[in-house]
A and B are shown apart, each in its own frame.
Chain A
Amino acid sequence: MTTTTSGSDLVTGAINRGLAARIAARAGGGVLRIFLIVVALLWLLPTFGLLVESLRNSGTYTSGGWWDVFSHPAQLTWSNYSQLFANHAITSSFWNTVKITVPATFFVILIGAAAGYAFAWIEFPGRDWYFLIVVGLLVIPLQIALIPVVKLYNWLGISGSLLSVIIFHVAFGLPFAIFLLRNYFAGIPRDLMEAARLDGAREGRIFFKVVLPLGLPAVASLAIFQFLWVWNDLLVALVFASPTNQPLTVELAEQTRQFGSSIDILAPGAFFSLVIPLIVFLAFQRFFVQGVTAGSVK
């Protein structure tokens, strides 16, 4: 299918190679190309609209849509962003997002990798059954845990804290982390493990010096998944974070009720909130795709 670059195979079978067929194929290829370009533009348009809206003078939203900037370029301004970064509630919630996301990603990797290693390379009774439980937990919706964990945090005296949000994210990230890493670690050649053990390395050393480095691609895809989940989370933070500890998503979500009047904060805020995940995503897309396609395609 992709071996021919003209795209002519799309319309005709390999047998009809007459002139008419070839013209039809060209036309078909042209239509196809235009269709895909339109689709791609359609997919870019919403984010582009948000970006342009975030760059318009305050007050212009009431007078017309973001495309007005093409006829009135004077509407463009940086002032929304300078106001956004001068807004203490926004900047401190942004740092809360960072303070939640970084540890929640780090610990899910560390704890998930340790458990994944145990499931892959340490023999213990009932191992396969316990792992099936992990596979089952993959599907459990986090909604089921909100109320009981609120009570648990009250009892522990950590309700509202950043720690409470982090713990929840780590716990609900674990089934996927253990699953992904165990399967990847299990594929590490046995010889390598044997050699390390024969050299007298203890499990801790093997874990940090052999398994983690070799499992780096899987760790990378887990890291980007968890990073995106936690960075973009709304519900968990909405339930657990106290007002001083709430991340950017919650801070902005509170303004959506007065959408029209808050657009000068909402548009730049929403765009700002998506820039970092977007960069991470584009930079590590390869690992993300590996994580996505892992296992579904054999």
Chain B
Amino acid sequence: MTETGEPALATAAAGSPVPVADPARHQPEKTTKRPKRPKRDRPPGERSWLAGVFLFPAVVLLAGVVLYPLIYSIVRSLFTDKPGGGSGSFGLHNYKTIFTDHSTLVAVKNNIIWLVAAPTLVTILGLVFAVLSEHVRWATVFKTVLFVPMAISGLAVGVTFALIYADQPSRGLANTVTVGIHDLFSSQTGYPNLHIATAEAANYTGNPSTGFTSKKTFSPGSPALVPLVGLDIVHPPSGLTQAKQPANGPGLSGAVWNDFALGGGGKPGRIDPKELALKGVKVQAVRNGSVVATATVDQNGDFDFPSLTSGSYQLQLPGSDFQKPFGGFSWLGPNLITPAIIASYLWIFSGFAMVLLAAGMAAIPRDALEAARIDGATEWQVFRKVTVPLLAPVLTVVFVTMIINVIKVFDVVYIISQTAGQSGKDANVLAVDLYTDYGTQQYGLASAIGVVLVLVLLPAMALNIRRFRRGEQ
């Protein structure tokens, strides 16, 4: 499990793990006295002593490493920090810091986002997958595939998803897909740093954000040359080839190219060898102030308005030609980093929820489902009115288990935020902040955060104990 080495399944295991054979069945004559206890067949004193032997190592470890630290932390959280890790004055100062300091406040806010989003989404995804996978024959394979991330460490998950979300130096899967989908619907290819070549600049008005419009007009018969400069010719965008002299067609035509070649040498305003065609640039023909036709520059740098066989037109390169192409989202930037990490968390835990819920569904009596179907219920009604209510206890277990896990979330956040650099701070959660405060020797603040984590988990603890006691009866 990717969490912090603790039972992730705290509540999942509440209750008895096996169909506990009722001891009363084996000892009917004893049931009136103490139905659930082993028979006292040896003196109680000796048995208590024996229990002590069997329990001793566990008691020592639990007392020394779990219980004592719990008390220590509660006490330490009430003293302020001094440089070097010493403790200062007594009071609730550290608790006030948690809710006023910027870094911890970000953590509190993110923990709330985690708590609202992650357990709900994990439970819903688990339920959907559990229900749907019942209808295919390869359900076992499907469940294994989704369950496997449970075995992977938070470190490996962090590296895996950092690769997916990466923007630099190469683009990760998430943005490659996003840009791909975006470009399907909008074929705009922009050349951010381009502008009209100096020699011709006086003949055009405008700027890269509004676009450029020619002052003079062009007519069919003589190709219009529109030289631009500013392309990164050392690392040109892929797919650009050398510009060629525009063919002289019946309509208005011309060329748009980068009027500068690597190594220089060409003449301004002329298409020289090695100068690249600016494929994809949009050219508009303007007459009396309105756009009458639009053409796109091709592989050779040509544009062509076959329908404009007479008259004279101004040429216009719209601002969209000079806009930066859509580069995807900044997944690990300040705004998206927490949702992005939560997504990696869903990848880990949805399979877990699905397996628990599928096991719960297997325990639902077949008759209940069949009866509903025979009564004419649709599959959706069966799901809503029979499956979900009967699954309610398991849904609760999954949900509470996820809450317990989410509050302590550390590994994935720690790793992914490290790869994110500066904006990593925006992913801060309490467990990570506690570790950072430990590193800076703010033991009081760290202890207070620990106590807050315990306090938030108290309802889950109470629920666990109640479930257990009910299970015992």
Contact = CB atoms under 8 A, between A and B. Distances in A.
Interface of A: 1-2, 5, 7, 9-15, 29, 32-33, 35-36, 39-40, 43-47, 49-50, 53, 61-67, 111-112, 114-115, 117-118, 121-125, 127, 132, 134-152, 167-176, 178-180, 183-184, 186-191, 193-194, 197, 203, 207, 218, 225, 228-236, 238-239, 249, 252-253, 256-257, 259-260, 263, 266-267, 270-271, 273-274, 277-278, 280-282, 285, 288-298
B418 A32 contact: no
12 contacts: A40-B142, A67-B173, A138-B7, A143-B450, A171-B65, A197-B41, A229-B7, A234-B410, A234-B414, A253-B414, A256-B418, A295-B14
A259 B65 contact: no
Question: Closest 3 CB pairs between A and B?
Answer: A294-B17, A295-B15, A232-B153
Contacts of A35: 132
B419 A256 contact: yes
Interface string B401-413: 0001001101100
Given A43-B149, A122-B50, A140-B461, 17 more contacts: A39-B142, A43-B148, A47-B152, A53-B163, A117-B54, A123-B44, A136-B465, A140-B454, A144-B69, A147-B450, A189-B26, A193-B38, A235-B435, A259-B162, A295-B15, A296-B13, A296-B397
Given A143-B434, A267-B159, A292-B356, A7 B135 contact: yes
**Most central of A1, A35, A144, A267 by chain B CB within 10 Å:** A144
Contacts of A267: 159, 163
Nearest to B434: A143
Contact of B162 (A1, A256, A298): A256
B132 A32 contact: yes
**Most central of B5, B14, B76, B172 by chain A CB within 10 Å:** B5
Given A40-B146, A183-B20, A189-B26, A296 B15 contact: yes
Given A193-B38, A270-B155, A281-B151, A118 B51 contact: yes
Nearest to B387: A1
Contact of A292 (B39, B355, B377, B418): B355
A262 B437 CA distance: 27
Contacts of A253: 155, 414-415, 418
Nearest to A198: B41
Contact of B376 (A15, A142, A292): A15
Interface string B301-316: 0000000000000000
**Most central of B18, B39, B142 by chain A CB within 10 Å:** B18
Contact of A273 (B15, B18, B153, B393): B153
**Most central of A50, A148, A193, A271 by chain B CB within 10 Å:** A148
A267 B161 CA distance: 11
Interface in B366-406: 369, 373-374, 376-379, 393-394, 397-398, 404
B149 A295 contact: no
B355 A289 contact: yes
Interface residues of B, number: 139
B414 A218 contact: no
A7 B359 contact: no
B338 interface: no
Contacts of A288: 150
Given A239-B435, A256-B418, A62 B129 contact: no
B23 interface: yes
Nearest to B71: A148
**Most central of B142, B151, B152, B373 by chain A CB within 10 Å:** B151
Contact of B135 (A1, A64, A167, A271): A1
A190 B50 CA distance: 19
**Most central of B62, B132, B377 by chain A CB within 10 Å:** B62
Given A143-B408, A273-B153, A294-B17, A229 B415 contact: no
A167 B60 CA distance: 11
B265 interface: no
Interface in B120-178: 129, 132-137, 141-142, 144-164, 166, 168-173, 176
B85 to A, nearest CB: 9
B300 interface: no
A234 B18 contact: no
A35 B142 CA distance: 12
A183 B148 contact: no
B461 A183 contact: no
Contacts of A228: 1, 150-151
B58 A135 contact: no
Contacts of A207: 54
**Most central of B53, B135, B393, B414 by chain A CB within 10 Å:** B135
A186 to B, nearest CB: 6
A168 B38 CA distance: 33
Contacts of A53: 163
A64 B173 CA distance: 10
B27 interface: yes
Interface in B347-365: 347, 351-352, 355-356, 359-360, 362-363
B6 A141 contact: yes
B134 A1 contact: yes
Contact of B156 (A184, A270, A297): A270
B19 interface: yes
B38 A171 contact: no
Contacts of A125: 48
B197 interface: no
B328 to A, nearest CB: 12
Contacts of A184: 17-18
Contact of B23 (A49, A144, A190): A190
A143 B4 contact: yes
Given A13-B377, A115-B58, A232 B1 contact: yes
